[in-house]
Amino acid sequence: MRELRLQQLAAVVAVLALVAAVRPAVCREQQNNGTLEVAAEETRSARATAVIVFGDSIVDPGNNNNLHTQIKANHAPYGKDFDGHLATGRFSNGLVPSDLLAQKLHVKKLVAPWLNVDHTPEDLLTGVSFASGATGYDPLTPKIVSVITLEQQLEYFDEYRDKLVAIAGEEEAERIIDGAFFFVCAGSDDIANTYFTTPFRSVQYDIPSYVDLLLVGVDKFLRSVSARGAKRIGFVGLPPIGCVPSQRTVSGGFHRRCEPKRNYAAQLYNSRVQELIDGMKEELNTRIVYLGIYDIIQELAEDGERWGFTETTHGCCGTGLIEVTNLCDSRFMAVCDDVSKHVFFDSFHPTQRAYKIIVDNMWDTYGHLL
């Protein structure tokens, strides 16, 4: 049955390719929330064959839905402003950065989760996300909350490539991987949760030595992605972790100010990881572009009125102080009246509107390098 299904998928791909060669076509991708129409002209202008995503909750479109973990966003109010008001598992009220970047690259509207059982051929041909909320470069980070490690995400990529070959053939699969944009976003949970919230690492390491530990993980991961054929990698730096609502609440004092130690850790990591990436450029046959987000998120958190935000220190969910994942649940608490006025949706993750500003800034700053 599985071989028959793969043969059927291969036939579908062949027909699509023939139609595209004969006349301009409109491809229709059906994905739970509705139908996406992509004109053939836009497909030809695409800046990548596919978008392939690794990382944490910032870019997890729903992989955690299938895990035995508390770190999930497959319930209301998550997805409040998604098409159909669906709680897909994205940790926001709508789209997440990987979706927005895929649109910037003219690849597709949504990046599907790898663990989704309803993949279409188009999902696979144009890339998927292996990201898992609350994972990190420290091996301990995903173990604490039972989510997918970055090593496991690489193993899933290997499975994905095998499926791509089965659908499209070896040559086409290689072309897709060669032209794909690889998007990597992780590290916040290492610092916010594993180092500062639990006692496991802070008793072993000071901040600089813990950053060194994370860099070992980054180095290993990037080399592994490169070895699997990635030619272009966008590597996202860390935000000002001390300025997200939950961290203000637990460590920002009575006035909930941005917590300096967490921000110092993020800045040190960003500086060191840029040095690491610069050093790898001569060794690897891969273009790795560092994508800084610290400054724009700090501006949103400290001067959000400039962009029309009226609430920058509280999430939209519940009190906005600490609610995230299973604590952010419409069955037990209210949601703010106007999400568009909030920088953060829950106590850790930005709203779709804030994400759009962040990705627009990222694109304006680094798009010519991608």
Known catalytic residues?
A: 57, 346, 349
CB atoms within 10 A of CB 271: 12
DSSP β-ladder status, 311-315 and 342-344 = parallel
Tokens of 124: 């696979």
Task: Give the separation between CA 283 and CA 86, rounded to whole angstroms.
Answer: 44
Within 182-236, where are the H helices?
188-189, 207-227
Q: Which residues contact 153 (CB under 8 A, 6 or more apart)?
A: 54, 130, 131, 132, 135
Sign of CA dihedral 32, 37, 43, 47: negative
Q: Which two tokens stand for residue 130?
A: 């292996």
Enter the tokens of residue 174. Answer: 């290689």
Residues 6+ positions from 288 with CB-CB distance below 8 Å? 222, 226, 233, 235, 277, 280, 281
Contacts of 126 (CB under 8 A, 6+ apart): 49, 50, 51, 102, 107, 108
Strand spans (E) along 188-320: 232-236, 287-291, 311-315
> Of 35, 30, 31, 34, which is closest to residue 84 (Cα–Cα)?
34
Structure tokens belonging to residue 157: 């990529």
Bridge partners, residue 342, by sequence: 311
- The beta-strand segments (E) located in 211-319 are 232-236, 287-291, 311-315
Which pair of structure tokens corresponds to residue 358? 């962040």
